[in-house]
Amino acid sequence: MKELTHLSLFSGVGGLDLAAERAGFRTAGQCEWADYPHSILTKHWPDVPKWRDIRTLTQEDFYAKTGQKTVTIISGGFPCQPFSQAGKRRGQADDRYLWPEMLRVIRDIRPTWVLGENVAGIVNMALDQVLSDLEAEGYTTGALLFPAYAVDAPHRRDRTAILAHAGSVGHLHREAVVNYPQAWRETRLYAGPGWKRVAGQALPWADTAGDGRQDTWPAEPGVCRVADGLPNQLDRIAALGNAVVPAQFYPIFQAIADIENMTI
């Protein structure tokens, strides 16, 4: 099997990283601005190269730190306040709108796949632009809106997954965002032996990287990813609020791994 590599942008406390590792990807790099999440990443991924400011993540620096020119997939939950129902919904006019920087990294590193994560509000405010930007770079794009309860989390928390492939994949084509909550629920059947579910509780995460880590990642409350900090005593709460439910995105990473390994 080929090596699958993953560069994580706006990493938070590593929710997407855990999902990717569970599907067989190696974390090649992480980028996170906020102090507390960065400390969590340093604790659990001590040997993975890290960046604090996405604006400093260049093709040259990535190669210098990793020895790699590209990766299989870049993922990132770029800050969502510009599109969140809880915010002022300024969209692309918001100074926290960092999609252009994520696009620049994608353009520089040219991954085979891109997985973007954001709130449901992006659908009516910037999704078309994000998809158009990726298509202009030669990617085939698609998007999916699905809730956290589809993987047995005890809350709804709709998320938008933006998927792009640098080539032609027959079943991946641009269309309106679709909502498949029931169909997505069936993906839990493919979660594999590493998953342990407790009805109505958080989803414990088994050892993803074979290094003995077994962390419990609680279901997230209805708080979006933030671009600025909170007082220190709220850092942990903020980090959990921003965290991605790994189980919600694992099926996407696993499907990509299966395609790359030609098992489907």
Catalytic positions: 80
Q: Are 151 and 247 in contact (CB under 8 A)?
A: yes
Distance CA 130, CA 153 (A): 28
Distance CA 5, CA 30 (A): 12
> Apex CA 24: angle with CA 22 and CA 27, to 5°?
90
| 104 membership: H or E segment, kind and range | helix 99-109
Q: How many CB atoms lie within 10 A of CB 136?
A: 10
What are the strands, taking DSSP E only, across the chain? 4-9, 25-31, 50-51, 73-76, 113-119, 140-146, 159-165, 178-179, 203-204, 216-217
Q: Are 102 and 109 in contact (CB under 8 A)?
A: no
